[in-house]
Amino acid sequence: MNKTKTQAKLINCIAIVFLVLQLIPILYLAQFNHPVGDDYKYGTASHAVWTSTGNLFKVIGAAAAGVKQDYVEWQGTYSALFLMRLQPTVFAESAYALVPWMMLGLLICSMLYLVRTVFADWCKVEMPYWIAVAVLLATICIQLAPNASEQFFWYNGAVYYNGFQGFMLLYIAWMLRFQNRQKIRYMVYLGLAAFVIAGGNYITVLTTMILTFTMIVYSLWKKKWKHVAVYGGSLLILLIGFAISAKAPGNAVRAAGLLGMGPVAAVKASIIKGVDYYLVWADKWWLLVLMALLPMMVYAIHRMTYRFPLSGLVLLYSYLVFCAMGTPTFYAMGSTGPGRVVNIVYDGFILTSYFQVFYLLGWYLKKKQTFTEGEGILTVWKKETWFVWLGLVGFLLVAFLLSGGHKDKTSVVAAKVWIRGDGKVYQQEFEERLKVLEDVSVTDPVFHSYSIKPDLVFVADGTDDPNFVNNTEWAEFYGKNSIVVVD
C-alpha cells in the first residue's frame, strides 16, 4: 500500500504542476479583462446603488428588484438573472479581473469534487489517482473549449452557462454522496442546488432533471426508499422552479424574435447533432487524453466489485442524455446556439464519452478477468503492455505537437497574447476610455476602435450606431446620453 501511495503522490503532484502551468498564461490575461454588452445592462441598477450607498444589502435588494422586473419584461431565469446583476464591475472596475479566476475555479473545483465522489461513493473504491483524473478532464475542457472567451472571460455568458454547469456537477456529486452517507447536509445541499439550477439555463435544468429521475429509478430498483424520497423531493423542487421560470411573461417577449422548432423536431435534431458532435469531438486530443486516463481506469476497475451489466443499454441511455443537452436550443432557436452554449455541450460530451469508455472497458475486463496481481498502478498491466502504452502516448504527443494542432489551444493562445504584449496595449486604450467615461462633463463620448483586440479578453465593442443595444447599455451604466465607437 505504501508503494501505491508513493506512486499516487508523484502522479498527482505532476498533475497539479501541469494544471498550474497551463493556467498561468490564462490567468495572466485576467488583469486585462473588462465588461461588455449585457454585463452593463444587468449591472447598471446594482452599480448605481453601490456607488450611492456602499451598502451590500441594498445592492442585493436592487438585484432582486431587477430580477422581478426582468421576469415580467424579458425572461424568467431568476437565479441566473440575480447573479448577472451582481457582476464584479458593480463594485469596482478592476474587480472584473476576477472573472477568469471565478469561472476556471468553479469548473476545476466542481470537477475535482465530482471525480473524487464518483470513485469514493459510487465505485466504492480507494482511488489515490483521482486528482490526476480530474486534472486531465478539466484540461481538455479548458484547452479545447469551443469559445474560451465566452466560457471564462465574459461574465454574463460565463456565469449563465459555465457557472450553472459547475452547480450541476456539484449537485450530481451530492446525489452520489447521499447514496452512501445519507447525511442531512446533503439533503439540504440538494434542495438548495435544485432551486438555484431551476432558475438557470434550460440546458442545465433539463440535464439535471433527467439525471435526478435516473437516480430515482435506480433507487427504486435497489429498494432504497429514503433515497427515492430525497431525490423525488429534489426533482419536485426542480420542476416547481422550472415552472416558475418558464411561466414568466417576459419569456414571450424574448421569444418573439426567435424561430424555434416543435418539441419532436427538436429532439430529433439533437439526436442527429449528437452523432456529429461525437465524430468531430472524438479527435486526436480526445484520444491522447483517453490514453493517459486508460491505466487509471483499469486500476479502478480492478478494485471494483461492480460487474458493469447492461453495457449496451447504459451506452445508449448516456448518449441520449448527452443529446438532451442540445434539445432546448433547437426548440427555442432552431439551432445549436451561440458559442457559450456549445461550450457546456462540449464539456458534457467529454464527461459522457469518457464515462462510456470506462463502463465498456469495465464490462469487458470483468468478463475477461484480465488483471495482474500486485500493488500500485504499475501493476495494472504487464511490463510489455506498459512499453506499448508509453510508446503510443509518446508518439501521439510528438505527432500532434509537430502538426501544429496545439497552436489554437487556450493556454497557447493566452501565451501568444502575453508575449506579444497585446494585453498591455489594450489595457492602455481601455484606461483612456475609462477616464472619459468617468468624466461627468462628457455626455456623448466618441471613441475609436481598439487598435488591438486581444484573443480571449476581447469579446465585443460598441458600434457607430448610438442606438445599438450594446451602446445604449454601456451609456446607461456610466450615465451618458450616448456612446459611439468609430473606426
What's the pTM value of the predicted model, to 2 decimals?
0.92
pLDDT of residue 1: 54
Q: CA 446, CA 485: separation in Å to the nearest integer?
A: 6
Residues of the chain where predicted confidence (pLDDT) is lower than 50: 373-374
Which residue in 109, 115, 91 sits closest to 162, CA to CA? 109
Tell me the three state secondary structure of residue 448.
Answer: strand
CB atoms near residue 248 (< 10 Å): 20
The answer for residues whose C-beta is within 8 angstroms of residue 201's C-beta and 6 or more apart is 77, 80, 160, 161, 164, 328, 341
pLDDT of residue 170: 98
Q: What are phi and psi of 375, to 5 degrees?
A: -120, 140
pLDDT of residue 387: 58
Per the CB < 8 A criterion, the answer to whether 270 and 326 are in contact is yes
Residue position matching grid coordinates 416558475: 244
CB atoms near residue 159 (< 10 Å): 22
The separation between the first and the last C-alpha atoms of the chain, rounded to the nearest angstrom, is: 66
Q: CA 457, CA 446: separation in Å to the nearest integer?
A: 22
The answer for residues whose C-beta is within 8 angstroms of residue 299's C-beta and 6 or more apart is 127, 129, 377, 380
The secondary structure element, H or E, covering residue 447 is strand 446-448
Per the CB < 8 A criterion, the answer to whether 200 and 241 are in contact is no
pLDDT of residue 82: 97
pLDDT of residue 9: 83
